[in-house]
Every structure is written in structure tokens, then in C-alpha cells.
């Protein structure tokens, strides 16, 4: 069974991440992927082998595609990319946490700064969980 450390290590360099993204978006065969990403055959097979071993990618009829597990990891990768894109907006949200704003107003401000996507849901959900934990103690 793969660990988080194995998954992060497998996707830790730019070429591995580009290969993973390309497979997620287009699938593809080895020749196309090697040429598109300017990989050597050794680099390609080494990276694909690690992705297959960790359950991210499968080969079927000579084409590569993401496994169910790989699709979830890909979605997490997209969420992390969005968080990086919104880094400064998230820093602004962090500055709100030191003020004494009611939860409903806080949620409205977060949604105004970040939008109504998954990131806003993560942030407002985590705040509510922290408030619940504080109330229970």
C-alpha cells in the first residue's frame, strides 16, 4: 500500500508532475508522451514504473490512464495548485482570524475574497470545526 510520502516522492519533480498531468488530461502512448515532454526513455519508464507501483496509473491496451486512486490524487493536486494560485488571498484570510468576527460574517468575507469554490469550503469548514472543538472543551 502506498504512503503519502511515496506519492509525494513519486510526483516531486517537474517532469513527473507534467507526465502525471498529461496522462490525466489526455492518456497517451509512450512515444507521444516521451516526445511531448522531452523525456529520455529511461526517465519515462522510471517515472511510469513508480506511478504504476504506487497505484496512480494503469496501462490498458498500450495506453496509460489514471486509476481511481490516481484520479483522487490528481484532484488533490489541482486543489493544491489552486491554493498556490490564491496564496496572497489566503494570507488575507489568515489576517481575519485574529479579529473577533462572527462566523456568518467571516464566511461571507472569505467567500468574497476567494469565491465560492472548494477552497472557501475548506476554510469555513475548518473554522467551524475549531469552534466546535473549543465549545466542547
Phi and psi at residue 57, to the nearest 5°: -130, 150
Confidence class of residue 134 from pLDDT cuts 50, 70 and 90? low
Domain architecture of the chain: domains with CATH: 4-74 (1.10.10.10), 86-136 (no CATH)
The whole-number pLDDT of residue 108 equals: 87
The whole-number pLDDT of residue 102 equals: 83
CA distance 16 to 35: 14
Within 10 angstroms of residue 69's Cβ, the number of other Cβ atoms is 15
Q: What CA–CA distances, in Å, run from 116 to 52, 119, 122?
A: 35, 8, 11
Q: Is pTM, for the whole model, over 0.75?
A: yes
pLDDT tens digits, 56-101: 999 998 899 999 999 999 999 999 999 999 999 999 888 887 777 8
CA distance 41 to 30: 9
pLDDT tens digits, 23-57: 999 887 888 888 889 999 999 999 999 999 999 99
Check pLDDT > 60 for residue 111. Answer: yes
Amino acid at each position: 500500500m502506498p504512503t503519502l510520502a511515496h506519492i509525494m516522492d513519486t510526483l516531486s519533480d517537474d517532469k513527473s508532475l507534467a507526465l502525471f498531468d498529461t496522462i490525466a488530461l489526455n492518456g497517451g502512448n509512450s512515444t507521444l508522451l516521451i516526445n511531448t515532454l522531452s523525456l529520455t526513455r529511461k526517465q519515462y519508464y522510471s517515472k511510469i514504473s513508480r506511478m504504476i507501483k504506487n497505484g496512480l496509473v494503469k496501462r490498458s491496451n498500450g495506453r496509460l490512464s489514471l486509476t481511481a486512486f490516481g484520479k483522487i490524487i490528481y484532484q488533490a493536486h489541482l486543489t493544491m495548485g489552486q491554493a498556490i494560485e490564491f496564496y496572497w488571498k489566503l494570507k488575507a484570510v489568515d489576517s481575519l482570524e485574529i479579529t473577533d468576527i462572527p462566523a456568518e460574517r467571516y464566511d461571507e468575507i472569505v467567500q468574497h475574497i476567494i469565491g465560492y469554490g472548494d477552497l472557501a469550503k475548506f476554510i469555513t469548514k475548518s473554522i467551524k470545526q475549531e469552534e466546535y472543538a473549543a465549545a466542547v472543551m
